[in-house]
Chains A and B, each alone.
Chain A
Amino acid sequence: MAPDPTTHALIPPAAGASLELAARGVGHQFQPTWWCLREIDLVCRPGDLIGLVGPNGSGKSTLMRALAGQIEPTAGAVTLNGKPLARLSPRERARAVAWLPQDVRPTFDFTAEEVIAQGRYPHLGAFGVPGPRDREIVRLAMEWTRTLAFARRSLAALSGGERQQVLLASVLAQQSRFLLLDEPTSALDLHHQIDVFEQIAELARAGLGVIVITHDLNLAARYCDRLALLHEGRLVADGPPSEVMREPVLRQVYDVNLIVERNPVVGSPMVVLLGRHGGPS
């Protein structure tokens, strides 16, 4: 499926061929005695769709915060085209990397459209007045996410699926080359989960570098071209889903009994849970 013209209009113009967002030897400590990330090397380039997976507490969200430039890693660095993120101004960084955190709770009654328009923040000038170009991007983002229908409704009044589309539109309006999504499907039903993954796959095909955190290994394997598996703060596997999703690795990392099958239709690896570790197999 070829990306439609709206998708292309939303993608920032490519500048330079060697774009990359990279974690180089990243380690992080919140407390002095415990490393929650250790020696992580991960490179994301335009067009990549990377599924960041691993058990709860394995460091996925912390790694994503570091990649978004929201925490400065204790060791190593996150670089954008070789330059440390920490040396960029917050706005410069936001124009290159967009981040949708996991738990976004609205306060006050901002409408869907206002929330999406707020995504233009890093592009606005000194007085923060949106121009015609900004309004056009916002309209495109709404069109692409099919959120125009509830533009005037309060974000707080929308359903989970609608709200997630509005938030996706707001980070798209940011027009960054790299898109970091922290569990964008965790509160969604099957239909909306597929919707979101189809959308981010299309964005990656159109030239965005996307990293998405998810607990659904099967969805990640179906849509991502790479999986990065974290375990106790270490990157234990990074490669195509068929390489990462191996029974011994997954059994050890998740501490459950499982087998890996093939999706009968598309052939992607598929986890079948059998029970607790040591249970029936």
Chain B
Amino acid sequence: MSRLSARKYCAVVGVFLAMAAAAVLLAPLVGLEKIDSIDALGEWVRNPSARPVDVDILIYIRLPRIFLGLLAGAGLAAVGAVFQALLRNPLATPYTLGVASGGSFGAVVAYYLAELVPGMAAAWGPVSLVQLFAFAGSLLAIILIYMLARTGGRLSTNELLLAGVTMGLIFSALIMAARYFASPGLLANMDRWMIGQLSWATWRDVEMLAVLVMPALAGMLALARPLDQLALGEELAGGRGVNVTRLQVWAFLLGSLATGSVVAVAGPIGFVGLLVPHAVRRIVGPGHVLLLPCVMLGGGAFLIACDTAARTMWHAAELPVGILTALLGGPFFIGLLIRGRRTGKG
């Protein structure tokens, strides 16, 4: 970090910012419905009283979806990077640790409550019941995993992944049970996000996600230096003056908040938290002061790109983005496992 000048820092973050900006600007131009955005916008500016339907598609269908992708991708990727630093394990992500499953379960419970108790469906400002429960579910999952996998102050890869997988299975079973007893209407509601997708996004979804994810991202950026210290172990970090327990508590809280709020709106989109931190770490190095902002911007750009591909590659229908990220991320995850075994690391 000592060699990182301010200029180089701005240049690197700038490149990632440009990437995210390019994704936001270019992605709305493509879609199954052929619209000529530039012409339509020009027409609308010349004659504001008659808004062309193409502009409606752009503003109410494509743009919210793109901003949702930006926020969700940034959130999931950043949580991946933070969990990897915290658990000193490159395979830790909100998805592989079952944190996303915990969030899904929380969301399912909230959907139930909303149906059973009519008044419960209310939202407080932009924050909805589903989000709060998803946050609680994510937090519950990460606390359980941490307690399970923590033996003698050190976390082993095997225990961590097994705990995460088990947690995911238990939460999945609970979700299945919920689905089994759900009414058809409720079932449709649940299935909407269970696969992990960004369609049906509205500006309200974007707003709901932004109020929770933006503070979580800011908080994670503030943890960058202490997270660096964990790379050589909690003991050395503690000796250098890091309050390790407080760092863990904050990281888990912020990580659960980001995961839960993304899951509540977009469903459990897998592997963004694995693919993006790994790729970005290769480019900018492991220092979190630079890594975290780049991971956030890169994660947003990546999810927008995946979603754009998912909604345009098939002519018959739009593919949920969760399917695409899982198909990309699964083999990557297995590759990392094999490499970790070969080098004896991880």
Contact = CB atoms under 8 A, between A and B. Distances in A.
* A and B bind: yes
Contact of A100 (B90, B228, B236): B236
A280 to B, nearest CB: 39
B330 interface: no
Contacts of A113: 2-3
Contact of A106 (B225, B228, B229, B232): B232
B227 to A, nearest CB: 10
B182 interface: no
A68 B285 contact: no
Interface in B67-121: 85, 88-90
Contacts of B224: 128
Given A106-B231, A108-B281, A121-B229, A130 B239 contact: no
Given A108-B286, A121-B225, A103 B241 contact: no
22 contacts: A68-B239, A70-B235, A70-B238, A89-B241, A90-B238, A94-B239, A101-B235, A103-B233, A104-B232, A106-B231, A107-B231, A109-B286, A110-B228, A110-B232, A110-B286, A113-B3, A114-B287, A115-B232, A118-B1, A128-B289, A134-B2, A135-B2
A209 B263 CA distance: 53
Interface string B203-238: 000000000000000000000110011011101101
A106 B236 CA distance: 11
A122 interface: yes
B19 interface: no
A119 B237 CA distance: 9
B279 to A, nearest CB: 14
Interface of A: 68, 70, 89-95, 97-101, 103-110, 113-115, 117-119, 121-122, 124, 128, 130, 134-135, 138, 155-156, 167, 171, 174, 180
B1 A130 contact: yes
B240 interface: yes
Contact of B240 (A106, A109, A119): A119
A61 to B, nearest CB: 10
A118 B225 CA distance: 9
Contacts of A171: 239
Contacts of A121: 225, 229, 240-242
Nearest to A108: B286
B243 interface: yes
A88 to B, nearest CB: 10
Contacts of B90: 107-108
A123 B235 CA distance: 18
Contacts of A110: 228, 231-232, 286-287
Contacts, number: 96
B225 A124 contact: yes
A68 B90 CA distance: 29
Contact of A128 (B3, B225, B233, B286): B225
B299 to A, nearest CB: 18
Given A103-B235, A134-B2, 4 more contacts: A95-B241, A104-B236, A114-B286, A119-B240
Interface in B229-267: 229, 231-233, 235-236, 238-243
B149 to A, nearest CB: 15
Given A100-B236, A110-B286, A130 B2 contact: yes
B2 A117 contact: yes
Contacts of B233: 101, 103-105
A92 B243 CA distance: 12
A90 B229 CA distance: 14
B239 A70 contact: yes
Contacts of B243: 90
Nearest to A71: B238
B2 A138 contact: yes
A103 B224 CA distance: 24
A182 to B, nearest CB: 9
Nearest to A122: B241
B277 to A, nearest CB: 10
A-B pairs, 7 with minimum CB distance = A94-B241, A99-B239, A122-B241, A108-B286, A101-B235, A91-B241, A117-B2
A113 B286 CA distance: 13
A108 B231 contact: yes
Nearest to B233: A104
Contacts of B229: 118, 121
B222 to A, nearest CB: 10
A105 B236 CA distance: 10
Interface string B1-35: 11100000000000000000000000000000000
A92 B241 CA distance: 8
A118 B286 contact: no
B132 to A, nearest CB: 32
Contacts of B236: 99-101, 104
A139 to B, nearest CB: 9
Nearest to A135: B2
A117 B233 CA distance: 16
Nearest to A65: B235
A91 to B, nearest CB: 4
Given A103-B233, A113-B2, A118 B240 contact: yes
Nearest to A123: B241
Nearest to B346: A107
A92 B2 CA distance: 22
A95 B233 CA distance: 19
Contacts of A97: 239
A138 B90 CA distance: 28
A148 to B, nearest CB: 13
A177 to B, nearest CB: 14
B151 to A, nearest CB: 14
A174 B240 contact: yes
